[in-house]
Amino acid sequence: MVLTLIVALLSIFFALASPAGAVNVNCPADSLQAAVNNANPGDTLFVSGTCNENVLVRNDKVRVFIQPSGAPLSATIDGGGSGITLDIRGKAISVTNMIITGGNQGIVVQRGSNAVIDGNIVQNAANQGITVTSLAFAVITNNEVRNNGDDGIGITESSDARIGWNNNANGPAGPNDIHNNGNRGIVVSRSSTARITSNNIHNNTSDGIRVARGSQIDASTNTINGNGGDGIFVTENSALTSGGDTNTLFVAGNSTTINNTGNGIRCSAGGAVNGIIATINGTAGQTNIAGNCPNGLVP
């Protein structure tokens, strides 16, 4: 009886001293990489300060949540000048309300992994801000993706993404602000798919959205402004559906209030376009559809 009571009291003590599933990571004194390595399924890593490291979430990690211990955007992962700042290879990984800065790439979701990337600032990577690649899947919502050297967001190599919404096409939306990146705002390529809605895609050096190399996108209700190329460019046997999905976030076309440098919607090299043109536009004209592109667009 006494032994049983002692064991029970010790269990209560350790439960109170170390709440299950909550791990505090106080950077730079603590290592976020070490905390990720030791994380169990369901653990939340509460981060404070600036973690000056490149972090890998290995493929054996499941249901790990990374977020600030304080207010949103009060914690940073800084990848410096090289490597991937946050490399996600696990399953059901969640990154919310963090600042992800620097590195050769910002966030990479890859190798069959899946992740929710919500409410972050992803900035100043030498190449892409967010990459989803190699049979991976990501939900990308409520982020600001800015000032990256190449594309803001890239979906490639048979991957899939929901950009601007999560699990219900009826809403609510989770719009991203994707701007001032050194190439495209969003690129979907190499047999990939994406459903892209309600985002603000502006002032990127090249196209607002490009879909290429046998890929397919639904793009609706985005504001696509002032990009240095086309608003949406569809090419190389890829396809665009713009609006037309009744009573969902995908019912409307895309809009422009400040012209893109090229066309609003351009299609070449056997692409296909259909749906609603709406007010998307460019200084070179609203649409430019090559003869080898099946065209089902309507005003």
The domain ranges of the chain are 20-103+110-122, 151-294
Can you give the pLDDT at residue 28?
A: 98
For residue 7, name the pLDDT band (cuts at 50, 70, 90).
very low
Task: Say whether pLDDT at 39 is over 90.
Answer: yes
Task: Say whether pLDDT at 4 is over 90.
Answer: no
pLDDT (tens digit per residue) in 194-205:
999 999 999 999
Backbone Cα Rg of the chain: 21
Percent of the chain surpassing pLDDT 90: 93
What is the C-alpha separation between 242 and 182, in angstroms, rounded? 25
With tokens 């599933």, the residue in question is: 21
Instruction: Show the tokens assigned to 52.
Output: 């000056």
Can you give the pLDDT at residue 1?
A: 40
**Beta-sheet strand order (sheet of 84-88):** 55-57, 84-88, 105-110, 130-133, 153-156, 186-188, 209-211, 232-234, 265-267, 287-289
Can you give the pLDDT at residue 178?
A: 99
Percent of the chain surpassing pLDDT 70: 93
Instruction: Show the tokens assigned to 255.
Output: 């809009």
For residue 297, name the pLDDT band (cuts at 50, 70, 90).
very high
pLDDT (tens digit per residue) in 13-27:
333 334 449 999 999
For residue 234, name the pLDDT band (cuts at 50, 70, 90).
very high
Task: Say whether pLDDT at 170 is over 80.
Answer: yes
Phi/psi at 9 (5° precision): -65, -40
